[in-house]
Amino acid sequence: MPTLTVNGRAQAVAAEPETPLLYVLRDEFGLNGAKFGCGLGQCGACTVEVEGRAVLSCLTPIGLLEGRPVTTVEGLGTPENPGPLQAAFIAENAAQCGYCIAGMVMRAYALLRNNPHPGEAEIRDALRLNLCRCGTHMRILAAVRRAAGREPAATGATP
Amino acid sequence: MALTRRTLLVGGALLVGIGLPRPARAAAPTGSLPAAPRIDAWIRLGEDGAATVLTGKAELGQGIKTALIQVAAEELGLDPASVHLVTADTELTPNEGYTAGSHSMQDSATAIRLAAAAARALLAEAAGRRLGLPPESLTVADGAVAAPDGMRLPFGELVQEVDLEAEVPATTPLRDPATYTMVGRPLPRVDIPGKVAGAASYVQDIRAPGMVHARILRPPRPGARLVALEAESVAARSGVIRVHRDGDFVAVLAEREYAAVTALRALARVAVWQGGTVVPEPDALFSDLAGRKAERTVIHEAGAGTPVPAGRRLTAQYRRRYQMHGSIGPSCAVAEFDGSRLTVWSHAQGMFPLRKALAEMLALPEDQVRCIHVEGSGCYGHNGADDAAGDAALLARALPGRPVRVQYTREQEHLWEPYGGAMLTEASAVLGPDGRIADWDYSVRSPTHLTRPPGAGQLLSARMLEKPFRAPPPKALPQPEGGGDRNAIPLYRLPRARVAHDFVTDMPLRVSALRSLGAYMNVFSIESFLDELAEAAGADPVAFRLAHLDDPRARAVIEAAAERFGWGRTLQRGHGAGFAFARYKNLAAYCALAVEVAVARESGRVRLVRAQGAVDAGQIVNPHGIRDQIEGGIIQAMSWSLFEAVAHDAEGPTSRDWSTYPIARFPDIPERLDVHLIDRPGAPFLGAGEVAQGPTAAALANAIRQAAGVRLRELPMRPELVKAGIGV
């Protein structure tokens, strides 16, 4: 029985090693952040962070993850006490339906861990693997810029 | 997410059934109030002084929860944190039909505002009785009624003395918009903190005790029939509860989700299908559409008795391919049947129509079916949500006492959702000697844009049962809102005009409502053609539009967008600017849009560089809410217009995932996107959620014309069309 460490909590998991991480996160750990979007590694809704890298949990078998701590959006803060990156998304209204957002946050989290002050092109390039259908892209970019301590977005509503 | 049923205690108020019909009201807008005229249909007050607000509309990601809370908080005089909102639930909330057509603010916010104002008036009267003061001398704010001497009576102390069962009086005084402290402010979205931190926010996140996981087996192509299914090996798999079959509707039920995933793959291997409907090849799509039987309605005629004026006649035809909703989360639903009552949790747009369809399908009385809206992934119209709810209901009946969660696969959502239909338009106009449009003739050929429930036959699986339900014949949505002919009548001053709608009654692929319905195509056509006429007249496109417009609010958004964009400035080589305008449905929000594109001549690739919108949505409730709807609309419509067409062959759709149906990604997102909002304090709310779709398509086409000299008349405007136009 593989043991996984998710958000600092180690747990033996009653699942075959080939089981994709996504189903274990949702069903064994009871976490909601990582979403089922395609199961094909095309949309990024299931993105989590492993050892500084953004990982698609719908494609990653848990057998590869023993001894490798996994961080999901739940590991960054709570709705009442959000972490800095989550707070940036809240401040920028960076969600419409929000189904893609936990994946966006985790993709950005992995980027900022490796590169705390990315440029605009680096942010866009990092996020290119994650799809958003509501068209919240400008808000998401603004949130990542804010978390990276960069100037506020060159975009917005004027009264 | 814990499930709460039948009763719900929120803010100290016990919620039960509501409302009785009464005669319609007239005069000022009343939204959905006439259908549920009692105050307590919309507003309840608790002993703790908090309010519970009920809406028949649903949160689809458009931010409606936040806006409705603001409206109620403003009229009540209550902190928004003390306002709890309950959204569409057939047992608790008013029946407001579908959450669609950019109606939520017009319908629900208007009703809630009036009901909240009526509740406030009753609170003031109750306080006045206690204090021996006239109600007009009292102030209602911060959850209390205050006397001039500073004496305060909190709402909670007055609740027993107000009768919220009363109907909202026709003469309820509303707060003066000049005194607003909550409406008009960018209150942060109430749902985002949970969504960025993994709180249970979606129907996908429901985990009910004893819940089972279901996966549906779909045919390999539309219309195929199941001729053999040796399912014993699948049923015997570890963790599988059973394989359910009713006609061609087949599902596997398992204790754990991943067991259901793998069992479905096994099930697909043992199913044998035969036949299927024949779909025209993509090359024949438009000739097929042009040849289909259609019912013609002339929806607008002006100056028919006058002779056709002299001048230069221009004609053009425009085309639009099938496009899909493409929700990021495939549809999901949970249902539970206790032997007599069915409860369904769904992210569909209409809980009451869904209840009707489910009751018909299962032959249950409607009052034994409850539908509760829970958020899902954004839908942008009629996607797979209703179908998933239907599947969950069928399976819950087969497994009484256990909640059943149905989750579609990516491929199922892509292949089986009802698409936005292929369309054709024809425009013809005479340019008079004065450079103005002297005659206008326009027709739109379109399939239906509405195949939603309440008919059981609108649910995909209901058509596959042993005793199948048939889809009812499609009906055209009437003007003034229209369906395929939505926004087919230009807002421009046209002394002589004729507009016809050719309603195609039968389509080879399943179609239904996609954000803005026919407005996307009609505005693309009309606003492209306006530019073609302006070019022929040697006129500036913005000046040409203004020369044909009288409505001052239309002119204001056009002038604002043009000015802020820097219309008329020289752009770098390979770039072009384009403009477009529409008032959604000719009765909702106004939107003007200027865009700059870059066209790569060798690849034909078009990139949206920047966009400047200007919008008038009447009284603004939450400026960030409107901004986000417009930004999102522009980006989504840019994706539709540059990249998206459902691929299909003779056997049906072949766009089965994001590689076969690519949509915009971050590298396609503009460098700048600005939205200018024109506030109209005190004016009626005008729905803004769909207004950007059409203008975006046309502004892009007009900008491509300026950048590359190519006039594209087909959506999507893919690189191969650009290259063919340029001749490379």
Mind listing the pLDDT tens digit for each residue in B200-224? Answer: 999 999 999 999 999 999 999 999 9
Domain-embedded: residue B502:
yes
Query: B375: distance to nearest CA of chain A, Å?
Result: 8
By residue range, what is the domain housing residue B716? 423-449+484-726
Residue B19 has pLDDT above 60, yes or no: no
pLDDT average, residue stretch B14-38: 64
Query: B671: distance to nearest CA of chain A, Å?
Result: 8
List Cβ neighbours of B289 (8 Å cut-off, separation of 6 or more). B422, B423, B424, B445, B504
pLDDT average, residue stretch B117-127: 98
Domain-embedded: residue B388:
yes
* Every domain of chain A and the residues it spans: 3-75, 76-147
B427 lies in the same domain as B389 = no
Domain-embedded: residue B719:
yes
CATH number belonging to domain A3-75:
3.10.20.30
Domain-embedded: residue B239:
yes
| DSSP β-bridge partners for residue B23 | none
Label residue B1 by pLDDT band (50, 70, 90). low
Domain-embedded: residue B136:
yes
B408 lies in the same domain as B437 = no
A49 is written with which tokens?
């962070």
Of B369, B398, B416, the domain-final residue: B416
DSSP sequence for B421-459: PPEEEEEEEEE-TTSSEEEEEEEEEE--S---TTSGGGS
* φ/ψ (deg, to 5) at B562: -65, -45
Contact A72 B198 (CB under 8 A): yes
Q: How many domains does chain B have?
A: 3
Residue B446 has pLDDT above 80, yes or no: yes
What does the DSSP 8-state code read for residue B477?
P
B109 lies in the same domain as B223 = no
Residue B183 has pLDDT above 80, yes or no: yes
What does the DSSP 8-state code read for residue B331?
P
Model confidence, pTM: 0.95
Domain-embedded: residue B468:
no
CATH number, domain at B668?
3.30.365.10
Residue with tokens 């002779």: B307
B161 lies in the same domain as B220 = no
CA B133 to centroid of chain Cα atoms: 48
| Contact map slice: A 48-77 vs B, CB within 8 A | 72-74, 76-77
pLDDT of residue B21: 37
Average predicted confidence (pLDDT) for chain B: 95
B116 lies in the same domain as B34 = yes
B255 lies in the same domain as B114 = no
Residue B471: Cβ-neighbour burial (10 angstroms; 0-12, 13-18, 19+): middle
Label residue B281 by pLDDT band (50, 70, 90). confident
B15 lies in the same domain as B109 = yes
Q: Compute the Cα dihedral for B183, B187, B189, B194 and give only its sign.
A: negative
Nearest to A37 by CA among B195, B266, B658: B658
| Contact map slice: B 97-156 vs A, CB within 8 A | none
Is B498 in a helix, a strand, or coil?
A: strand
Residue B535 has pLDDT above 60, yes or no: yes
Q: Strand B423-431 and strand B312-320: pairing? A: antiparallel
- To the nearest 10 degrees (0 to 180), the angle between helices B719-726 and B693-708 is 30
Question: Are B140 and B153 in contact, with CB atoms under 8 Å apart?
Answer: no
| Contact map slice: A 13-42 vs B, CB within 8 A | 15, 19-20, 23, 26-27, 30-33, 35-40, 42
B169 lies in the same domain as B270 = no
B389 lies in the same domain as B510 = no
Of B161, B189, B217, the domain-final residue: B189
B145 lies in the same domain as B240 = no
Report the chain A residue with the minimal C-alpha distance to residue B260: A23
Of B162, B189, B216, the domain-final residue: B189
Query: B632: distance to nearest CA of chain A, Å?
Result: 4
Chain B partners of A20 at a C-beta cutoff of 8 Å? 258
B58 lies in the same domain as B121 = yes
| Contact map slice: B 409-428 vs A, CB within 8 A | 409-410
Neighbours of A91 (CB within 10 A): 15
Nearest to B201 among A93, A98, A131 (CB): A98
Nearest to B446 by CA among B514, B497, B388, B387: B514
B371 lies in the same domain as B442 = no
Residue of B195, B256, B608 for testing the chain A interface, max A β-carbons within 10 Å? B195
User: ipTM more than 0.90?
Assistant: yes
pLDDT of residue B5: 42
Contact B61 A96 (CB under 8 A): yes
CATH architecture of A76-147: Orthogonal Bundle (1.10)
Chain A partners of B186 at a C-beta cutoff of 8 Å? 93
Residue B113 has pLDDT above 50, yes or no: yes
Domain-embedded: residue B305:
no
